[in-house]
Amino acid sequence: MVGNTVLGAIYLSLLDMILLIVFLFLIDGILRLFPFLNKISKYLKSRR
């Protein structure tokens, strides 16, 4: 029973780490996309 709780705790902490890393990657990707989207919108507005 003790082994199960330790494994569960390790699993949960690993899951938290993975979720945090994925979350940071998503935020980084969104922040990188914003200037790109601004350029596209300016380009589209200038074409009209």
pLDDT digits (tens, 9 = 90+) for 1-45: 667 899 999 999 999 999 999 999 999 999 998 998 889 999 999
Write out the residue range of the structural domain in which residue 27 sits: 19-48
* 30, part of any domain: yes
For the chain, what's the residue count? 48
The overall pTM is greater than 0.85: no
Residue 2 lies in a domain: no
Residue 9 covered by a domain: no
Q: Is residue 40 part of a domain?
A: yes
Q: Is 47 contained in some domain?
A: yes
Distance linking the first and last C-alpha atoms of the chain = 69
Estimate to the nearest angstrom the gap between the alpha carbon of 18 and the chain centroid: 10
Q: Is the four-CA dihedral 30, 33, 39, 41 of positive or negative sign?
A: negative
The number of domains in the chain is 1
Give the separation between CA 21 and CA 24, rounded to whole angstroms: 5
